[in-house]
A and B are shown apart, each in its own frame.
Chain A
Amino acid sequence: MDENELNLRPNQIPEELKGSIAVTTLDRIYNWSRRNSIWPMMFGLACCAIEMIATAASRYDFSRFGMEVMRASPRQADVMIVSGTVTKKMIPQIVRLYNQMAEPKYVIAMGACASGGGPFKEGYNVVPGIDRFIPVDVYIPGCPPTPQALLNGLITLQKKIDSESLKSVRWYQKGKIEPIPIPVLGPDLIDPRQSPLIKELCQSQISNVSPAGTPENLEAHHDNQLD
Chain B
Amino acid sequence: MTTSWIETQLTEYLLERFGEAVQPDSRPGYLGFLVARNKLLEVCRSLRDEFGFDYLSSVTGVDYHPEPFMEVVYHFYKSTGGSALVMKTQAPRDNPTVPSLCSLYPGADFQEREAWDLLGIRFEGHPDLRRILMWEGFAGHPLRKDWREPFFEEDAKPFKSRWPEGHFIRVEDNNPYKNNVSYPPDFDPGKWVPDKDELLYGGLQSFEEDSEIKTERIVVNLGPQHPSTHGVFRMVVLLEGERVVDLKPVMGYLHRNHEKIGERNTYLQNMPFTDRLDYICSMSNNFGYALAVEKLMGIQPPERAEYIRVMMAELTRFLNHMFSIGFLLNDLGAFFTPSLYAIEERELILDIFEEVAGSRMMCNYFRFGGVARDVPEQVLDKIKTLVHDRLPRKLDEFERYLTHNEILRSRCEGVGVLTPEQAIALSVAGPVLRASGVPYDVRRADPYSIYERLEFDVAYGIHGDIYDRYLVRIEEMRQSLRILRQVLKDIPNGPVMAGKPQFQVRVPPGEAYGRVEGPKGELGFYVVSNGKPNPWRYHVRAPSFINLTSLKTMAHGAKVADLVAILGSIDIVLGEVDR
Contacts and interface: CB of A to CB of B under 8 A. Distances in A.
Contacts of A45: 231-232, 254
Given A57-B339, A226-B148, A206 B362 contact: no
A186 B361 contact: no
B190 A199 contact: yes
Interface string B95-136: 000000000000000000000000010000000000001110
Interface stretch (A7-15, A25-33, A102-110, A217-225): A217-225
Contacts of B339: 53, 57
A124 B260 CA distance: 9
A17 interface: no
Nearest to A113: B256
A202 B347 contact: no
The interface centre, meaning the residue of A121, A187, A199, A212 with most chain B CB atoms within 10 A of its CB, is A187
A125 B257 CA distance: 7
Interface centre among B226, B279, B346 (most CB of A within 10 A): B279
A213 B176 contact: yes
Interface stretch (B41-49, B149-157, B455-463, B528-536): B149-157
Nearest to B136: A185
Contacts of A188: 138-139, 150, 181-183
Interface in A96-146: 97, 117, 119-128, 132, 143-144, 146
Interface stretch (A86-94, A152-160, A162-170, A172-180): A86-94
Contact of B180 (A128, A198, A220): A128
A128 B38 CA distance: 44
A57 B336 CA distance: 9
A223 B148 contact: yes
B273 A119 contact: yes
A89 B255 contact: yes
Contacts of A51: 360-361
Nearest to B277: A47
B225 A97 contact: yes
B185 interface: yes
Contacts of B5: none
A132 B172 CA distance: 12
B362 A144 contact: yes
A22 interface: no
Interface string B222-255: 0011110001100000000000000000001111
B575 A46 contact: yes
Contacts of B261: 120, 122-123
Interface of A: 42-47, 49-51, 53-54, 57-59, 72, 84-85, 87-90, 93, 97, 117, 119-128, 132, 143-144, 146, 184-192, 194-195, 197-199, 201-203, 205-206, 212-213, 217-218, 220-227
8 contacts: A54-B346, A59-B347, A89-B135, A97-B225, A128-B151, A186-B187, A213-B176, A226-B146
The 4 A-B residue pairs whose C-beta atoms are closest, nearest first, are A123-B257, A187-B139, A47-B279, A227-B140
Given A188-B181, A227-B139, 13 more contacts: A90-B224, A90-B254, A121-B180, A132-B179, A185-B195, A187-B184, A188-B139, A201-B176, A202-B188, A220-B152, A221-B176, A224-B149, A227-B120
